[in-house]
Amino acid sequence: MSNTFLMRLSLPLIVLALLAAPGYAIDIITRKSVQNRLSGSVTAVTKTEVTLKPQTGADVKIPVNDIAQIEWDGTSAVMRGAMGQENNGNFEEAINSYQTVLDETPATSTYIRADLQFFIARSLGKIALQDDTRLPDAITRMKAFTDGNSDSFRYYEAMDYLGRLYLASGDYLKAEATFTVIERSPFEDYQLAAQSSKARVMLAQGQIDQALQAFEGVLKAPGKDEATRQRQLDAMLGKATCLNLKNQYDEALKLLADVVARADENDARLQAEAQVRRGASLLGQGNNQEALMAFLLVDILFPGQQDFHAESLYNLSKLWPIMGQPGRAEEARATLETRYPNSPWTKKLTGS
């Protein structure tokens, strides 16, 4: 047997061995700013950037505010399925799936383990935002993640959830302090998001004029890129909420129409909140039929946004009888009580 033949026979095996080696791990990063994904091996992670070593060429440093997703080498089908469960609003199932993967992931896979810990905390946080009985556990879990992963690229996202959980629990001082940490980040879009979040803390305390001024401050900032413009859409929703509370419904509706027109139709959370705020504006005007349609859109299109879905179901249970359809009202009420038994909107409906 010739040496040439042996070399030809061995070459595919050598290539496969190299690809299977740790140095050839393939991590895939999806960026927000460009369509092309980057692949290579993540060699360093901080709370501000991720360093990727491509198979060819120089290292690439990606700022965390431009990272939409990282699919780590070795990501299992169960983990991908759990992400789908979370995206569809099946948070309890997602937590169980994430925990199963975490239990089977070796301690050496630090990046994957950190992501799984965050995904569990995030899913629990989403539950707690519409079920206040889960808030203490959710806060503890998210606080443990931020304390133990201060250099994770998930850090600022985790701090945002922690701030929202503090806000939902009525701990306004801790909520404001948490959002201030994000405001001190080096990213302008994160800074604007934190300013809007602090405005929502004011709003929760009945400081409507101060909150309105803070939201307007975000809107006056120059929208340098798509990320900052997205944060300004969030601020427009906050401003519309303030206008509704000041009974300035016409102005709120104009603002909300602009949000719906400019927002990505795939941004389920932003679109759901816009429709809920529209419904509130239309109710304030006495336009019950159009208000019902706004809340119905959330029920049909955005049930995965559980807090806004619960609010919509509450309003539908009140509006359907006015439209002469008490049966639909009972359906909305039953769905609210079954899916969200501990939601503030369920408690408001039942008087508990």
What averages of pLDDT result for each successive group of 10 residues across the chain (352 residues)? Answer: 47 46 75 93 98 95 97 95 94 98 96 98 96 97 98 98 98 99 98 98 98 98 88 98 98 98 93 98 98 99 94 98 98 97 95 80
> Which residue, chain included where needed, has tokens 């941004």?
267
The pLDDT value given to residue 5: 43
Return the axis-axis angle of helices 208-220 and 188-204, rounded to nearest 10°: 170
In angstroms, the Cα distances linking 260 to 276, 285, 296 are 12, 20, 16
The pLDDT value given to residue 224: 78
The pLDDT value given to residue 24: 56
Asked, for residue 119, whether it belongs to a domain, the answer is yes
The pLDDT value given to residue 352: 72
User: Domain end: 9, 39, 73, which one?
Assistant: 73
Question: Are residues 122 and 51 located together in one domain of the fold?
Answer: no
Question: Are residues 59 and 129 located together in one domain of the fold?
Answer: no
Asked, for residue 254, whether it belongs to a domain, the answer is no
- In the 8-state DSSP scheme, what is residue 150? T
Question: Are residues 160 and 81 located together in one domain of the fold?
Answer: yes
Domain residues for the domain of 82 are 76-165
User: Domain end: 73, 105, 135, which one?
Assistant: 73
As a whole number of angstroms, the distance between CA 114 and CA 74 comes to 14
The pLDDT value given to residue 25: 72
- In the 8-state DSSP scheme, what is residue 26? -
The pLDDT value given to residue 219: 97
Residue pair 125/19 in contact by the 8 Å Cβ criterion: no
Asked, for residue 251, whether it belongs to a domain, the answer is no
For residue 40, is it left (φ>0), alpha (ψ between -120 and 50) or beta? left
Question: Are residues 117 and 157 located together in one domain of the fold?
Answer: yes
Question: Are residues 118 and 60 located together in one domain of the fold?
Answer: no
In total, how many domains does the chain have?
2
As a whole number of angstroms, the distance between CA 107 and CA 262 comes to 44
Question: Are residues 80 and 69 located together in one domain of the fold?
Answer: no
User: Domain end: 104, 138, 165, which one?
Assistant: 165
Residue pair 275/264 in contact by the 8 Å Cβ criterion: no
Question: Are residues 69 and 81 located together in one domain of the fold?
Answer: no
Residue 222 corresponds to which amino acid?
P
10 Å Cβ neighbour count for 224? 10
The pLDDT value given to residue 21: 47
As a whole number of angstroms, the distance between CA 121 and CA 142 comes to 5
Question: Are residues 69 and 80 located together in one domain of the fold?
Answer: no
| CATH code: domain of residue 41 | 2.30.30.100
The pLDDT value given to residue 20: 47
